[in-house]
Every structure is written in C-alpha cells, then in structure tokens.
Amino acid sequence: MMRLDFRKSVASVLCSTLLLSSMLSPIAHADGLNNLPSLGDAGGAELSVQDERRLGALIMKDYRAFGAVNTDLEITAYISRLGNTIVQAASESPSNFEFFLVTDKSVNAFAMPGGYIGVHTGLIAASQTESELASVLAHEVGHVTQRHIARRFGQQKQTSLVATAAMIAALLVAGSNPQAASGLMAAGAGYSIDQQLSFSRDAEREADRVGFLTLQQAGFDTQGMVDFFGRLQTASRLYENNAPSYLRTHPLTTERIADIRNRAGLESSSNRSQNQSSLEFELIRVKSIVFAERSNQQLADRLRTFESPNEQEGIKDPVALMYGRSLVLNSMGRKQEALAASEKAIDLFKSGQSVVKKTEVPLLLQSQRMRMAMDVSLPLASAPMDQRPVRERSALNAQEKVTLGQLTSLRNEFRSEMSVRLLYAEGLQRLGLFAESDAYLKELSQAYRSVPEVFDLLAQSALALRKPAEHHMALAQSYNARQAYLPAIEQAEIAKRYARDNYYLLAEIDAKQREYKRKADAEREFAKFGN
C-alpha cells in the first residue's frame, strides 16, 4: 500500500498553507484520491461563486463533524475581527468570509473554497506581532479575492463536488485524528496529487502582491510580512530535505522574498504604519499556546516557561504571562490557584505593569477571572439537568448574589461579545435560574441563529424546566446551525410528538422542519453536480 504524507497532501489540497512544524503524520493513500478532479489553469473555466461557496460549506460540514474546528469564542472572535479588517481593506464583504480556529501546533493557515479561512493555534503562537499574523491572513485573503480556488476547481464538472469535499475534510482531519479520517477513504493504490492541486508560483506571487497591498491599506506594518516570510525562508534552509511540506510544494523562492522586501523598502519609514501589537493579541497568543499543551508534563513545562519566559517565544508582558499561568493551572485542575492568578493578572494590569498601556481591563482578563470564580464558587452540578432544582433569585445566598452581580456587570460592559453572553447564560444555569436563562437565550437565538452554542444551552434550560418539546427543538436548531440537516429533521420530529397538544408550538416546529428538509434536499441536489 502506498503511503501519503499528510502534511504534503494537505498543503496541496488547501489553497495556501504555512507550515513550520517538522512533525509530519503519514496516512494511507486511498482509491478516493483517484476521483479528485483535474483542476483548471488560471485561464480555464471557474466555479461560480455560488458553487464555490457550496463546496466550502460541504467541506466545513465534514470538518466540523469530526470536531476539528475549535469553538473557542474568544480566539475565533479575535481572528474574525482581524480577518475582517483585512477583508474590508480589500474592498470585499466580510459576509463572504469565515475565519475559524484549528487546535494544532503546526504553523499553518489555509483558505478553502467559499472564503473559509482556517487558522492554526500554532500560527498565532508563532506570530511575534499582530502585523505578522495579519500578513498571513492577508496572503490567504489574496488567494480568495483573486479566485485562485475557483480556477483550480474550474474543471470540477466531471466528478462529484461532495466526494471532493469529503476527501479534503478527511485530509484536514487526519493530522489530529488519522483513524477517523481513514473512515472516509478506501485503502488501495493511488498516486500523488501534488501537481494537480498545488498552487502555481504565479498564484503565490499574486497572493503576495495583493496581500501586501491589503495589509498596507488596512494600516498594519508591512514589515510584519517581511519578518514572518523571512523566518519561513530561514526554516527552509534549516530543515533542508526534511523541510515542512509547504516549503517543498509552495517554495518561498528567493525571488518572492526579495519582492516582498523590495515592496516594504519602497514604503518610507515616515509613511509606514506604527500599528503596534495590542494587549489582546498578546493574550490571544498565550491562550493559543496553552491550547496546544495536552499532557500533564507539557502543562507543567509550560507553567515553568510562564514563570521564566523563553526569549525565543518573545512573550515578555507580565500581564500576559500571569494570564497564561491562570490558563495552565485551570487545565491542570488547580482551580483555586487559577483564580488567584487571574486576579493577579488584573492587579498587574491596573498597576501599569503591562507593556501595552490602556485603561480598560481587557475582556480576556475579566472573563478568565469570572470563569475561575464560577468554577470555585459554583462548580458544575453532578446531577442530570432534568433533576436539578429550578430556583428564583430570592433563594440565592449572599455569595451567589455577588457572583450574579459580577456576571451582570460583565455582560453589561461587553454586550456585543458572544463569549460573554454565553458565559452569562451558563452562570444563570449554574445558579439554578433556568427560567431566566431560558428567556435570555430565546431572545439571543433570534439574532444569532447560526451560533450552535446558543441552542445547546437553550436545550439544557428547556430540559431543566421539563419542556421536552422545546428541548428537542433547540437540539434541532443546534444541528441546523452545524449544517447537520438530517439529525435536525429527526429532532424536530421528536419535538412534534411532545408538542401535539400545543397548536402554536407545533406549527412553529413544523415550519422549521420543512426548512431543514429544503436544505437537505438542496444539499442532495448539489451532490449530483457533475455526475
């Protein structure tokens, strides 16, 4: 059986990848690879915008189904804001892009059909400034805006886009879960698809050029692109024949690096943006680093590095380092110490110890302290949700009222942050205020129908309130938000059985179920595309 280097395959399948990690995971080659399309050149036919978006949505559906997308709302919100700044500078609509997070130590970012751009935690951790991270996103956005993806899939007509979507999703997942990914592939003979799916050097240069101009237009320091790509080139020389796959299949040529440096040199120092890394970037970077540490030994080692910073990583802000200690201690189950560290981080900030000067305590610091305070004073109940007592505010003790007050203040200060809204709802549930959380989440769900976590919490509130029809309907809406239409239809059917005596609820559920069926039918029709 032939073996396929996972990193090399992914780098080829993806529209653009940045890899510095030398850890390569082989997976079995598959007969399914033979069914991948022969992709068109830059002058060939293009996928329509609609079909490109559909293909991207299919890949994301499979990718999410494997649990490969990290749903941390704070980091996702940050990279989305950063990415949307780039997108707007490129005169594009943010609604045509979606930035998502992947927990992986490899320094990797990739664009997929339909404007879906994935960012590995390893990339955030390796970026030493906000402009460096922005430069990578600008490069990926450049691939999308220049329709390099649509060109590559221009001759897709002769095969099923759905099969391709499943294959790409499997390759993406294989790095962290080879067993699950192999379920989408039939073992057998195959051949390398590098030449079929890799970008041309012209496309890479075009993405560099467009990305550089976009980075400049967005107000970031273009030196960030020079610095980051320069380190990538240095890594290429260091790794030699064992260089990460991106550097082999999409080489950072001397010509490309020289062109980027030349463009940066043409921008005089007087015109160059003085955009500095925000404290939020430093905190997000620390959180991304902690996400990658999984074993107890790795966490213990990371705790020591936050106590004695590693110069190579460039983390110097004492507030960020203390925040990192809180995150690690929490991951180690040392909740009380984690709470103390989160409070210390805020104290350091208020005393002016942060390298970045600002007056408002950042959300990440406040939310971490709130989570730790809840874990200490309101630990998760062991009883099933439908057996927990439903309480009123009048039944809360003094400490619980203090916690509720802190939650309310945090929600009022950061009204637009989804992570805070969900933290508030979770706090209400931990306090037993299920009627309040139910009403709050129902209102929230009207504006955020694509956020599955809202419906997950809504389902819990309905279960605690002994409302089975609403519980199953919330589960249906959660599945719908994840594009899992068949399970959504099934949950709606169960909800209808419980709601048969409630005409208005039954009519609402029936309407939702018809919506899910239309989406499922449309997906099946698209599955026939090109067959």
Q: Which residues are catalytic?
A: 140, 208
DSSP state of 500: T
**98-102 and 3-5 as β-strands: parallel, antiparallel, unpaired?**
unpaired
Angle at 144 between CA 159 and CA 217, to 5 degrees: 175
User: Within the chain, what is the greatest distance between any pair of CA atoms?
Assistant: 73
CA 186 to chain centroid, in Å, comes to 29
Q: At what angle do helices 418-430 and 434-447 cross, to 10 degrees?
A: 160
| 6: helix, strand or coil | helix
Kindly state the tokens that stand for 261. 């440096």
Q: What is the DSSP string of 407-421?
A: HHHHHHHTTT-HHHH
Cα 108–chain centre separation: 12
Answer yes or no: are the C-beta atoms of 132 and 228 closer than 8 Å: yes
> Please, what sign has the CA dihedral across residues 457, 415, 277, 361?
negative
Give alpha helix (H) positions in 92-177. Answer: 121-126, 130-145, 148-152, 161-173
Work out the burial of residue 200: count CB atoms within 10 Å of its CB; fewer than 13 is exposed, 13-18 middle, 19 or more buried: middle
The radius of gyration computed from the CA coordinates of the chain, to the nearest angstrom, equals 24
Backbone angles phi, psi at 379, to 5 degrees: -60, 150
CB contact at 8 A, 230 and 135? no
Q: Which residue has the tokens 């279960």?
A: 463
